[in-house]
Amino acid sequence: MVRILLSRRPKSQAILLVICTLLTLRLIIKTLTSPTPFMVIFILSREDNRLSRDAIRATWMKDAPSDVTGIFVIGLKSQPPEVIDQLKAESKEFGDLLLLPQQSDTYGTLTSKLMGALQFAISNMDFRFFMKVDDDSFVRVDALRREAKRIDGRGVYWGFFDGRAPVVKTGGPWIESGWIMCDTYVPYAKGGGYLLSHDLVKFITDNSHMMTQYNSEDVSVGAWLVPLEVKRLHDFRFNTEYRSRGCSNRYLVTHKVNAHQMYTLHQNIHRLGRLCKQEVTLWHSYIYNWHVPPSECCHRNLTDYGDIQNDW
């Protein structure tokens, strides 16, 4: 069967498929021989972001408990042979790359890359929570895991939500020409980092053939889960918007962090016992108000986290 399938593909595609199949099998074997993961973290990356991947391996993933697994997701479509060779070597060295031969690495393919990660996770891993982050996100894995342990693990969609984001119809990578449901996006967790419980991942993958894939993967997830009985947990400790809100010692996830900053944050934790050398607010946060229409959900009036707690 494999011979027949390969014979129908151009030689270069067939070779690439074999390479990815062998490396994926290696990754599957690694997951099967590792402790059953409580949480799996899939980090969407690009072929040229090796510095970020190495920084993550040396910082927050290095500190991850044994029941938390991190995997980088990279598209190989249209990559030159020398790049494929580099990724093969990286995969053999670390065993933490999910290489997708039919996916290119552009903003417009993020949703299909996410779907590939969801399908791999549900087919090969027994987990309670699936987390998606970008490779410029810093995760306090220990604190996040402690929080996740106290949450009922069914129907959970956890992150920093927005319910009044206007639909982008013209210009830029965020354009959503196929969005026709309303003039704002439905409430969704921002893409710098969010978690889904196992049952929601299974729902999405079981029905993937019917799911519209919008340009933005975070918008897509929000749309896919609209009709379900879902616990949407808005968490101000997720600094996961398109620009950073600064640095708070209460943050569980911090987006828009370069490789050098990851090392700095990691050193702060180990030397100072806190994330930030000095806390900084660049942009106010909010507590999502689920009791009003989405257009009125999110007033940026949270200036000091103090002793504030989430309402869930």
DSSP 3-state assignment of 224?
Answer: helix
* pLDDT 10s digits, 24-34: 777 777 776 67
Nearest to 68 by CA among 8, 146, 165, 179: 146
Residue 192 makes CB contacts below 8 A (sequence gap 6+) with 133, 134, 137, 160, 238, 239, 240, 241, 242, 253, 255, 256
The domain spans of the chain are: 2-296
Enter the DSSP assignment of 162.
E
Residue 189 makes CB contacts below 8 A (sequence gap 6+) with 157, 158, 159, 160, 161, 218, 221, 222, 232, 238, 240
Q: How big is the chain, counted in residues?
A: 312
Residue-level pLDDT at 161: 98
Question: Over 60: is that where the pLDDT of 10 sits?
Answer: no
CA dihedral sign, ordered 290, 291, 297, 299? negative
Q: What distances in angstroms separate CA 276 from CA 160, 183, 225, 241, 273, one per listed residue?
A: 20, 38, 35, 18, 9
As its CATH architecture, domain 2-296 has Alpha-Beta Complex (3.90)
Residue-level pLDDT at 20: 67
Residue-level pLDDT at 277: 97
Question: Over 60: is that where the pLDDT of 206 sits?
Answer: yes
Out of 159-163, 177-181, 222-226, least confident range? 177-181
- Helix and strand numbers (H, E) in the chain are 9, 14
Residue 73 makes CB contacts below 8 A (sequence gap 6+) with 42, 43, 44, 45, 98, 100, 113, 114, 116, 117
Section 212-236 average pLDDT: 96
* pLDDT 10s digits, 162-204: 999 988 877 777 788 888 888 899 999 999 999 999 999 999 9
Nearest to 79 by CA among 88, 71, 70: 88
**Maximum distance among all Cα pairs of the chain, rounded to whole angstroms:** 63
Residue-level pLDDT at 6: 39
Angle formed by the axes of helices 217-224 and 110-124, nearest 10°: 60
5/153: higher pLDDT: 153
Assign 13 a pLDDT band (cuts: 50, 70, 90). low
Are residues 135 and 72 in contact, defined by beta-carbon separation less than 8 angstroms? yes
Residue-level pLDDT at 2: 39
Place of tokens 């410029």: 136
* Helix or strand (DSSP H, E) at 241: none
Residue-level pLDDT at 1: 37
How many other β-carbons are positioned within 10 Å of the β-carbon of residue 242? 10
Residue 106 makes CB contacts below 8 A (sequence gap 6+) with none
279/105: higher pLDDT: 279
Query: Token digits for 178?
Result: 């196929």
